[in-house]
Structure formats: C-alpha cells, structure tokens
Amino acid sequence: MRGKTMVFVFLALVGFEWGLASVVLAPTGARGATPPRRQRTVGDLQEQLEVGLRPRHPDDFAFLKRVVDAVKNDQLPLQTVQVTFNWARRRRPYPFPYFQRAVKLQAAKRGVTLR
C-alpha cells in the first residue's frame, strides 16, 4: 500500500513541477495572454445570419438584409441581434421564424419597424 501512495505522490510532484516549469519557461508574451476579440463587421453579420438561421425563401433573405441595414444605420444594436440570433439558433429544425418574430419585437421596443 505504501508503494502505491509513494508512486502517486511522486507523479503528483512531477506533474506540478512540470506545469510550473512550463509557466516559468513560457515566453513573456505568451504567459496569460488571450487573443484579442475580433470585431464583427456588418458583412460578417449578414453571413452569420444567413448560415445560422437557415432562411429558405427570398423574403427571408430580404428580411435579414433589412436587419443588417438597421444595425448598419445604428437603429438596432448589434448586441441585440447577436443575443436574439443565439437564442433562435437553439430552435429546431428552422430557427429563422423564431429569430424573425423576436427581432421584430426587439426592434418595436426601440421604435424601429422591420417588415
């Protein structure tokens, strides 16, 4: 029993030292650095909405274009569209109708009409 315990303690110490060495020996710029968040552009938003929401009809694509235009014209906050997109994505099999209804409600709260 004592032999198994000693092996476990030895492996724990080696693992701790190995982890400590990797932190100490890491290049200065890499330690604790996180990659900068990429700013999403309106073009990226259009692509994200079309791929993620799976619109099927030309009217659906036109609605998404109007949403992107509203974001571009600062009528609708990008974060509101992103949150609504993430919520609608969980609705299966076609998330677009859920997104359309929810974003219309969010836009109406801000006095923006999306047809």
Burial of 30 (0-12, 13-18, 19+ CB in 10 A): exposed
**pLDDT digit string, tens, across residues 13-22:** 555 555 544 4
Q: How confident is the model at residue 26 (pLDDT cuts 50, 70, 90)?
A: low
For residue 84, what pLDDT is reported?
Answer: 96
pLDDT at residue 38 tops 90: no
Look at 42-46, 81-85, 98-102, 109-113 and tell me which has the smallest mean pLDDT: 42-46
Highest mean pLDDT among 28-32, 40-44, 54-58: 54-58
pTM for the structure as a whole: 0.64
Task: Tell me if residue 19 falls in helix, strand or coil.
Answer: helix
Q: How confident is the model at residue 40 (pLDDT cuts 50, 70, 90)?
A: low
Token pair recorded at residue 97: 């109708």
More confident residue, 17 or 114: 114
Number of Cα atoms under 13 Å in the Cβ half of residue 86: 5
CB 107 within 8 A of CB 77: no
Q: Where are the domains of the chain?
A: 42-109
